[in-house]
Amino acid sequence: MKRGDNAFLILKKEFTGIKRNVLMKNHTTFKIGGPAEYFLFARKRRDLLRAIRIAKKLKLPVFVLGGGSNLLVSDNGIKGLVVKLQNKEPIILKRRNIIQTPAGIQLGKVVQFSIDKSLQGLEWSGGLPGTFGGAIRGNAGAFGGEIKDSILTVEALDNKLRLRKLSNEQCRFSYRSSIFKEKNWAVISAELKLVKGIKKNLKNIANSHIEYRKEKHPLEYPNAGSIFKNVDFRKVTLKIQKLFLDKVKKDPFLIIPSAWFIIGAGLAGKKIGQAQISKKHSNYIVNLGGAKAKDVLKLVELIKKKVKNKYNIELEIEVQFIGL
């Protein structure tokens, strides 16, 4: 019996829903990615913890998948076990302004829960895709807000399978990153501390951001969100500051959207295979149908090279590459 067959039999004995060679393109917003060697839905916290522990004993790599946004998966797929969070556990209002949320729930549902309870602090994220855990991992942000602003504590599983409860400070949040992204720890749940607000106002803000995304972002095509982090206004030369002064935004500090550098490099609309730099929002690469990870990577490298040559700026990747 092959080693892979033996691992599958052990996993199958523990989890009847385990599958082999599941195409990751069916589980990412980019609709790109080859087969996961083993694939499991974890609907409860205990299922996730048990799956990770068993995989570690079998010496299988483990990747915990949330909503599949902000990811580019290799055309060759992923070795080891992919555990997709599909929480059925509820969001809990622990006190007047503190909520506890499982990692696998869609961020939009957490936003809606907070608005229903007239709690302010998440309305900026209206329309953001992905799971709550993914938002924590990448310290998601938009319209001047960031997920770190509301985090009280985060429960996560570290690389030694220890369950940790981290304070906001211990999460080491930075621009579009955290300790969980740096160390590849699995976010399990978190507590949010919000403030009382006016439900109608919060709903209007969230809805306006949803409409903005529909209008300005290429949501009609599969994509992984922004490919590059925006550029810190304080870290560029005075010449670049002057050149893009009318493009500056707060996110949450002053930034120049990376899309403007890509446009300036003459790359809007550029295609390789079925991957294209969006004309609608040039910090997005879209899948026109059947795009490959290798095509996206070529576009990413082209953007980095052209922007570096023209502006002497190194764009930083925001999307996570898996198996590449």
Q: Which two tokens stand for residue 230?
A: 């925006």
| Rounded distance between C-alpha atoms, residue 33 and residue 155, angstroms | 29
Mean pLDDT of 235-246: 96
Average pLDDT over residues 200-215: 94
Supply the pLDDT for residue 146.
Answer: 94
* Residue 226: active-site member: yes
Which of 114, 137, 176, 191 is catalytic? The answer is 176
H or E segment and range at residue 195: strand 195-196
Q: Taking all residues of the chain, what is their mean pLDDT, rounded to a whole number?
A: 93
pLDDT at 44: 84
Q: What is the pTM of this model?
A: 0.89
CA–CA distance, 176 with 228 (Å, rounded to integer):
10
Question: How far apart are alpha carbons 187 and 81 in whole angstroms?
Answer: 17
Q: How many CA atoms lie within 13 A of 213 on its CB side?
A: 19
Confidence of residue 4 (pLDDT cuts 50, 70, 90): low
Residue entry with tokens 């403030």: 195
Which range is most confident: 62-71, 143-152, 179-188, 294-303? Answer: 294-303
> Does 318 qualify as catalytic in the annotation?
yes
Q: How far, in Å, are 179, 225, 231, 233, 257 from residue 253 at the CA level?
A: 20, 20, 10, 8, 12
**Per-residue pLDDT tens digits for 93-120:** 988 899 999 998 999 999 999 999 999 9
Q: Report whether pLDDT(3) > 80.
A: no
Query: Which candidate in 178, 226, 258, 278 is catalytic?
Result: 226
- Look up 177 and say whether it is catalytic: no
Catalytic entry in 37, 123, 146, 318: 318
Residue range 162-191: mean pLDDT, rounded: 94
